[in-house]
Amino acid sequence: MKKILIFGMIMVISVAMLMTSCKKDKVKKDEDKVLTDAVTDIDGNSYDAVKLGNQVWMAENLRTMHYSDGTSIAKGSEKSVTTAYWYYPNNNSANKSTYGLLYNWKAVMGNASSSSSNPSRVQGICPRGWHVPSDAEWTQLTGYVYSQSQYWCDNYGIAKALASKTGWKSSSVKCAVGNDPSANNATGFSALPAGSYDDDYENDYSDFGRCAVFWSATTEYVEGDYYPYYRNLYYELDNVDGAISDKYRGFSVRCVRD
């Protein structure tokens, strides 16, 4: 009888350990996941978010027309580095619900100074509890995705894992974002090709369907002025690029949870 009791206790403990092990494995598998309606902005727009590594990013482009204190941002019809403006992607109001809005850097930052810290601690245009990512935070994101082999395409490209499944111009380049977009978005980040507002010539809205461009809170001093960093995904490329740009241009915004 004693042997039976001991055997039974061993079986109970073994099953409990197995269940615990399975539970831990499930948590690990669910580490990168989309969070539905994770945040709502001052205008009442709700956004899904995605947890990737130790960061939580919006999984949709920002589309607010106000700062979190209720201060309005003007609709832009020209370029400016001193007045905060938003613009409709491709100059079409119908694009707002899916692609969000484009913002010049003044609108993104408000009255905040640039930041290269991680986290940036720049709330700017983001809802309370969220902030504008620094270039270092973008680097952390792409570095994390690179570190996870399930997100690679042919052992090197990660753009497809971050890009949305819809909206992209078609490409014949292997592993490019626009090549078989149904295979995109393994991370749930859902980068959308909202293009940009440039106004280099005359009210120039460019690259809609071709490019997703996102501001950062970080600037670099070049030849007498400060230029903000951005990150972009392009329909014919397989990786995420970064560079600096003029502050008057209109790009998309993704916020990061504090």
Do 100 and 82 contact (CB within 8 A), yes or no? no
235 has a pLDDT exceeding 80 = yes
Longest dimension (CA), the chain: 91
Place of tokens 């810290």: 117
Retrieve residue 192's tokens. 């959308």
Q: Are 154 and 183 in contact (CB under 8 A)?
A: no
Q: What is the pLDDT of residue 203?
A: 61
Cα dihedral 65, 133, 230, 193 sign:
negative
221-250 average pLDDT score: 97
Given a contact cutoff of 8 angstroms between Cβ atoms, the answer to whether 159 and 177 are in contact is: yes
Mean pLDDT estimate for the chain: 89
Is 136's pLDDT higher than 70?
Answer: yes
Distance CA 105, CA 249 (A): 7
pTM tops 0.95: no
Check residue 156 and give its pLDDT.
81
In the chain, pLDDT over 70 holds for what percent of residues? 86
Q: How confident is the model at residue 32 (pLDDT cuts 50, 70, 90)?
A: confident
- In whole angstroms, what separates CA 105 from the centre of its chain? 16
Q: Is the dihedral of CA 76, 128, 34, 142 positive or negative?
A: positive
User: pLDDT tens for residues 107-129?
Assistant: 999 999 999 999 999 999 999 99
Q: What is the pLDDT of residue 155?
A: 74
pLDDT for 133 equals 99
pLDDT of residue 9: 37
Look up tokens 């989309």; give the residue.
34
The band of 31, judged by pLDDT with boundaries at 50, 70 and 90, is low
pLDDT of residue 229: 98
pLDDT at 200: 67
User: pLDDT tens for residues 158-211?
Assistant: 999 999 999 999 999 999 999 999 999 999 999 999 999 987 665 689 999 999
